[in-house]
Structures are given as structure tokens and as C-alpha cells.
Amino acid sequence: MELYALTPVEEISRRISKIQSMIVAHGIDAILVTDNTNIYYTLGRVISGWVYIPAKGNPIYFVRRPEGLKGDNVCYIHKPELIPLELASRGYTLPGTLGLELAVTSYLTIERLKAVFPECAIADASKIMREARAVKTDLELKLLRQSGIKHARVYSRIPHIFRPG
């Protein structure tokens, strides 16, 4: 199954590069993305899992589901406690400061991830992800325009479907 099924690889690369430059600017070593909206933004598809984005290097997609995704940076795991072991096996050092999306992640998930990375200082990466998604690329603007045209067509049909009484 193709990893970047819905978004061109070049677009995903631009997004990851933008996030990485923001990570460096905020003094964070890596972000662990847990929110579905942000996972979609960084991968171009929804997965059950986590996206690890280091300040430098390639992201790693820690996937629970769906099965069958292929790629050098895809790693199948069933729980987040396995993430540090997988990072080490791929030659990554644990971050000194790990960014989490504190504004959109549940308290229990945050506490679990803190326990998974006990040596890491935790920073709020919510603002980084919001700012990265706020400025749209040419592709995103094109998709928004196409969506607007489709919505206008659908809404123009409403008066023909409903009648008084």
C-alpha cells in the first residue's frame, strides 16, 4: 500500500521541512505527533499511530493500523512504549526536549508519553503544528478552491430539492 496515497511526496517533504525549521527555532529536538489532523498533515493519510519528526533527518511513522504500508520510515508497533527501542535501532538518539501537542492530546496520553520518555523535557508543540498548517501551500490553496466550487454546486441544488409544505 502506498504510504503517501493522498498527497504528493513533494508536498509532504515541504511540510516536514517547514515543521523541522520551526522545531529548531523553538529549541525542540523532536516532535511526536499524536493528533489525527496533524498526522494527516504530515503524512497525507490517516493512520492509527504516531509520527516522530526529528529536528534533522527523516520522520518515522509508527503505525498500528492500517496494515500494509510500505516505506523505509514505516515502523509497525502496537504501543508507544516501543518507540524509544525502535528509535535506537534506527540510529536515532532520544531527544533532550520532546514536543507534544499538549493542547489537543488527552491528559492520560500525555502522562503515558512522559513515562515512555522519562529522560526528555516535554515542550508544547501545539503552536508549531498550528502555525505550520496555517500558511497554505499552492497545492492546499488549489484544493480549497476546488472544494469551494463543489460546495457551491451542492448548495445551488438545495432550492430545487425542497418545496414549501
C-alpha distances out from residue 144 to 8, 40, 43, Å: 16, 16, 18
User: Do 25 and 8 touch, CB atoms closer than 8 A?
Assistant: no
User: Using CA atoms, how far apart are residues 92 and 119, in angstroms rounded to an integer?
Assistant: 15
Q: What is the pLDDT of residue 53?
A: 98
User: Tens digit of pLDDT per residue, the chain (165 long)?
Assistant: 566 667 888 999 999 999 999 999 999 999 999 999 999 999 988 899 999 999 999 999 999 999 888 888 999 999 999 999 999 999 999 999 999 999 999 999 999 999 999 999 999 999 999 999 998 888 889 989 999 999 999 999 888 888 777
* C-alpha gyration radius of the chain: 19
Instruction: Write down the CATH superfamily of domain 9-134.
Output: Creatinase/prolidase N-terminal domain (3.40.350.10)
Global pTM reads 0.87
Q: What is the pLDDT of residue 105?
A: 95
Classify 101 as helix, strand or coil. Answer: coil
Q: What is the pLDDT of residue 145?
A: 94
Q: What is the pLDDT of residue 2?
A: 65
User: Using CA atoms, how far apart are residues 51 and 59, in angstroms rounded to an integer?
Assistant: 7
Q: What is the pLDDT of residue 6?
A: 75
Q: What is the pLDDT of residue 148?
A: 94
What grid cell was written down for 109? 496520553
